[in-house]
Amino acid sequence: MFLNTSLEKIIALQRNAANIRNLCILAHVDHGKTTLADCLVASNGIISSRLAGKLRYLDSREDEQIRGITMKSSAISLHYRQGEEYLLNLIDSPGHVDFSSEVSTAVRLCDGAIIVVDAVEGVCPQTQVVLRQAWLENIRPVLVINKIDRLIMELKLTSQEAYTHLQKILEQVNAVTGTLFSSKVLEERAEKQKEEEKDSETSSGEQVYNWSAGLDEADDSNLYFSPDQGNVVFASAIDGWGFSIQQFAHIYSQRMGIKEQVLLKTLWGDFYLNSKAKKIMKGAQAKGKKPLFVQFVLDNIWSLYDAVVNKRDKEKVEKVVASLGVKVMARDSRHSDPKVLLSAISSQWLPLSQAVLAMVCEKLPSPLDIAAERVEKLLSVGTRRFDSLPEQTQELKKGISTYTHTHKHTVLPDGCSASDSVPEVPHLSCCSMESLYLLMGRELEELEEVPAGNVLGVRGLEDCVLKSATLSTSPACPPFIPLNFEATPIVRVAIEPKHPSEMPKLVRGMRLLNQADPCAEVLIQETGEHVLVTAGEVHLQRCLADLRDRFAKIEISASKPIIPFRETVVRPPKVDMVNEDLGKQQKVAIIHQVKEASQSRSSDTLHVDSSGLVTLTTPNRLATVSIRAIPLPQEVTLLLESSSELIRSLEQVNLSLREGKGLDISIRTLEAIAELKAQLESLLQGRKWRNAVERIWAFGPRRYGPNILLNSVEGYQRPSVWQCLGRGGQAGAQAAVLRDFDNSVVSGFQLATLSGPMCEEPLMGVCFSVEGWDIQSSALSQNQDTMEQDSTSHDTLSESKADGSGKACEQVESTAAEPSQARRRPETASADCYGPVSGQLIAAMKEACRQAFQAQPQRLMAAMYTCEIMATAEVLGRVYGVLGKREGRVLHEEMKEGTDMFIIKAVLPVAESFGFADEIRKRTSGLASPQLVFSHWEVISSDPYWVPTTEEEYLHFGEKADSANQALKYMNAVRRRKGLYVEEKIVEHAEKQRTLSKNK
């Protein structure tokens, strides 16, 4: 029995946490998730119109201003059992991949999830993503297989064929879950094995470890989806019906006199009814019998569709209505659309909301049942393990697990400030919650208090919260771990108001958007442009619409999408552009070309030799550096890119060690750093990479990027970047001393990798080897004199460094010693980073890196999307045509078993992706729809500076080589946008043209 919900009823139900269910609905796009949410909410009298509310909170300075994200939320009250009433906080979230950040927000808020899968399409890319997100947040899922009507009406399957098809879909979903479970168990077993090995270091002999032992011992009884466990519902949300096998077990136990428990175990599986013996027996498939699920369940549904939709047999329909005991209104039975009559019958016979909500109440946990593992994971922020946290923080686990705290609407006393309450806790501020709200679809109901375990809206936090924050009455509570985002912000546009006078409104609107959307980023460029960064084209359109209609409420102009690129170097080619082998003489010709180019760049302070070694002297002749650029192996670049957070943690540890501070590092982080080092050593093999990992000077740009600065200076032994791996985290800290101006070399490297010479884009996959570094002794005394001239100027410069205004050492001087420290310890501290020598050395290092980069074959790297398209055979050629036109590359295609659908997996440059989805839909009449996910960076094979050098190239391309050069097109577009010089000829061999207009 379901009830219309009153506010008083919900307030009463909020106090009983055991009967609260916080759940979200997750699915691949177009799998019927929103229709399902509408059915669940509308059937319980919450909202009569379409569910389109926002999870939102109010701006305290303007009551009319609403900020929010695109999740939908509502509360449902229902009677599930006799005498028991439940409160369901239901959150619907988008299915498009661009909005996966909102899926992350939804799963963080909830204790359970409804996974919706299309009965025809089965497991799709986004289905795997949402299953993984639910798994990472330790929330329990249940499954709804939706759109079963498509098996009847579109695929024309028989009930037996449909049963086989549904079995395969369940296998697909369980395969994803099983993979997640197996990887988790094996990781835990590996950690346990490491601990055991440490404990048994004294034991001798080799030990053989059985990796599968952990899987055999692990309990996965409640892990998988199975109808007989009650965590699967079969449904057609558009027709309003759905069921679990529990419903049919209850019906047939009364009708046939068979125990309900027996039917529960046999309705799904290889069981059939022996009519002679009147027994349920196993082996339906082997004996060619109809399984019970087909005979008792699917046959009835197929008969209903056949009578109502296919044959429109009025007499049979009347018999069905009478046998089911349902009431059909006259207007429904007379309606011209048979689906109206079908929905009227099926929604009373097998009401969808009853099946799904009963499953939710039975199988999903209440807030009281939060897993201890989830609590520990939420509190273990950064690289620290839960058992290494302070005792006060660990004690909070009990309060969260038992929900003993009640969050009331309280106001801080007058005069309270963060400095009074928590003077020594960083990144902590005091705030007051002005109002608490119950989320009811589009409506917000203000409440005086909200007991623990409920989803609520809060007003008054806009000055304290950027995108997410953790509210706590205890300063010992760390911020919860960041959300796990599947989408990467990659598409950016510059935004300005149509009317310049409205710039303050735009700035405020963009700040609100930045707070409201977890995946959107707002930047201000050096040029003063306001830039919005989004996850994709659909996300960009949504953010622009929200900015225009909701946040800024002004007319805005957006630039064309700003596409990011990367710059890199590659090994010299072995074949020419016509795929002919480059012979020895041709290679010599190319080397001479490189020599001529480098000689044109040479001057009295710059020298580039034939091997690509660049030697540069500072203008004051006091310092000289010799740099060589080497392309990193692709595997190393990928490893550095994926390990950016770990490298950032490594840099923080090294900074603490250089400053003489201790840092509590978790064993897991040290193990990850050691593994990173081992992986680099295994990938950097060969004579030129000998001992290279130990000689890594820095990573860049920003000290954690995918480029390496290598110390190949003879006789210079500096502290290793891996010094934290020494015993106690302190070994090697004093083994070597930094040379003066060491930071200046690193600074120049960081600036060079941040902005490359091709089109001022960041570098990627480049190793700069410092093979010579000489500083005249007079440079040190000159620098020391400068330091002593005006000691007060250092304080001013230190302040400017703190707020990021230092130009010479921008983004890279976090490890430089303060000038005062340099004066106290001149024998160990680095020289002053603001002196004339260090400034010139930074500039020289940056220029030397750029020249070394240009001495090698240069290439652009494009951001690439992975594109998955589901299409039917008749439109396959059109899909390929659109991909080819946009520089896409098909990786593989396969036919989805049991359907006429093909799954095409391709890669597509982000630069070519705008309008791609719309073009695909237009060309295929809506029969194909792509999902674009940022995947990787890929080297564009064509050389943007290429000119024909071999006879074959001259014959094939001609002297001007005027065929389309994709890399050159991209490079010139970026240079043009940035206001850089573009070398291109507008008109060549002009002719006088006829005037076609008539004289008047």
Q: What is the per-residue pLDDT across 673-722, written as a single tens digit (0 to 9) for each? A: 888 999 999 998 888 888 899 999 999 898 889 999 999 988 888 888 88
Residues facing residue 142 across a β-bridge = 114
pLDDT at residue 360 tops 80: yes
Taking only the tens place, the pLDDT of each residue in 412-432 is 444 444 445 454 565 677 877
CA distance 395 to 402: 12
Residue with the larger pLDDT of the pair 379 and 434: 434
CA distance 705 to 677: 16
Q: Where are the alpha helices (DSSP H) in 836-927?
A: 836-854, 876-885, 916-923
- Contact (CB, 8 A) for 521 and 532: yes
pLDDT at residue 148 tops 90: yes
Q: Output the pLDDT for position 196.
A: 60
CA distance 27 to 123: 10
Burial of 981 (0-12, 13-18, 19+ CB in 10 A): exposed
CA distance 257 to 357: 27
pLDDT at residue 55 tops 50: no
CA distance 219 to 330: 54
Taken in order of first residue, the domains within the chain and their CATH numbers are 1-193+225-240+351-368 (3.40.50.300), 268-348 (3.90.1430.10), 491-562 (3.30.70.870), 949-999 (no CATH)
Give strand ranges (E) for 672-783: 696-700, 707-711, 766-775
Give mean pLDDT, residues 163-184: 87
Taking only the tens place, the pLDDT of each residue in 765-781 is 999 999 988 887 665 55
- Contact (CB, 8 A) for 511 and 522: yes
- Angle of the 391-402 helix axis to the 372-379 helix axis, nearest 10: 140
Give me the half-sphere count of Cα atoms (radius 13 Å) on the Cβ side of residue 738: 26
Contacts of 110 (CB under 8 A, 6+ apart): 22, 23, 24, 89, 91, 139, 455
Confidence of residue 101 (pLDDT cuts 50, 70, 90): confident
- Contact (CB, 8 A) for 357 and 78: yes
Give me the half-sphere count of Cα atoms (radius 13 Å) on the Cβ side of residue 142: 27
Share of the chain above pLDDT 70, in %: 75
Taking only the tens place, the pLDDT of each residue in 858-868 is 999 999 988 88
Computed over its alpha carbons, how large is the radius of gyration of the chain?
33
Confidence of residue 81 (pLDDT cuts 50, 70, 90): low
Of 148, 10, 174, 177, nearest to 90 by C-alpha is 10
Q: Output the pLDDT for position 918.
A: 86
Confidence of residue 234 (pLDDT cuts 50, 70, 90): very high
pLDDT at residue 340 tops 70: yes
Please state, rounded to an integer, the average pLDDT across all residues of the chain: 77
CB atoms under 10 Å from CB of 858, counted, come to 20
pLDDT at residue 624 tops 80: yes
CA distance 600 to 613: 15
CA 940 to chain centre: 24
Taking only the tens place, the pLDDT of each residue in 456-491 is 888 888 777 877 888 887 777 777 877 777 677 888
CA distance 280 to 298: 18
Confidence of residue 657 (pLDDT cuts 50, 70, 90): confident
State pTM to two decimals. Answer: 0.74
Confidence of residue 495 (pLDDT cuts 50, 70, 90): very high
Q: Verify cis geometry, omega within 30 degrees of 0, for the bond prior to 701.
A: yes
Most confidently predicted of 444-448, 637-641, 656-660, 663-667: 637-641
Please give the structure tokens belonging to residue 590.
Answer: 């190319």
Give mean pLDDT, residues 974-983: 87
* H or E stretch covering 606: strand 606-608
Residue that is written with structure tokens 């399957």 in the block: 157
Q: Where are the alpha helices (DSSP H) in 523-583?
A: 537-546
Residue with the larger pLDDT of the pair 114 and 729: 114
